[in-house]
Amino acid sequence: MSATHTTIVFTLILLGIGGVWFASLHMSEKQKITSEQSTILQNTMNAIKNGRTAVANDIQIIATGMFNPNAEGSDALHRGWGGVSLVKQHDTHHIIFSDSFKVTNGPDYKLYLVPKHNIDTEEKFNTNKKNAIRVADVKQYSGMQIFTLPSDYVVSETLSIVIWCEFFSQFITTANLKINKN
């Protein structure tokens, strides 16, 4: 192998190791969940599994959906799957990722709520980003998580949840939410 090829291979290896290290720095922090949020998570997951839209403790399931690992803008390195719900407790809305949630590793993932369906590419997200609500940082690659929406949030009839890598301006995954009519 020539010196040029060796240098290129070595550089690619370092970039790969550096990318994994960089991603681990940004996603190593576990989401801190309060006991109230834990109750909301467990009650919501039990209700969904049993096909209910009303839950104990005044929790109402507003909408549900699934992250699409085969979205047009997703690829082998940028995808996510699993269930997601929008719930309301008293006057507060929460987005909940189910225990089946998983997303490929990457840095600086953000959770957005977009008042439109089929936001499944980088171009569509960038076009609609001005109308999106940036909810929170996604701090875990998998499992149940809960995110509280701003207090002035008003539910739209058409909603998508988008996970976006802010650092690389990269679309990761989306879920169209279906509003419960109950």
* DSSP structure string for 49-91: HTT-SEETTTEEEEEEEEE-TT-TT-BTTB-EEEEEEEEEETT
pLDDT for 156 equals 85
Cα within 13 Å of Cα(50), Cβ side:
10
- Full-model pTM: 0.77
Main-chain phi, psi angles of 161, to 5 degrees: -105, 130
pLDDT for 58 equals 80
Whether 62 and 106 share a structural domain = yes
Whether 25 and 99 share a structural domain = no
Which token pair is 10? 């070595």
Whether 14 and 83 share a structural domain = no
Confidence of residue 14 (pLDDT cuts 50, 70, 90): very low
Cα within 13 Å of Cα(90), Cβ side:
6
Whether 21 and 40 share a structural domain = no
Q: What is the mean pLDDT of residues 15-33?
A: 51
Q: How many domains does the chain have?
A: 2
The mean-pLDDT minimum among 42-46, 101-105, 144-148, 170-174 falls in 42-46
Whether 15 and 101 share a structural domain = no
Task: Tell me which residue range forms the domain holding 18.
Answer: 1-30
pLDDT tens readout for residues 115-167: 999 999 999 999 999 999 999 999 999 999 999 998 888 888 889 999 999 99
Q: Report the chain's mean pLDDT, rounded to a whole number.
A: 83
Taking alpha carbons only, the member of 90, 69, 67 closest to residue 78 is 69
Give the chain's length: 182
CB 47 within 8 A of CB 55: yes
- Cα→Cα distances 59→1, 52, 107, Å: 64, 11, 32
Whether 36 and 24 share a structural domain = no
What's the CATH code of the domain at 98?
2.60.40
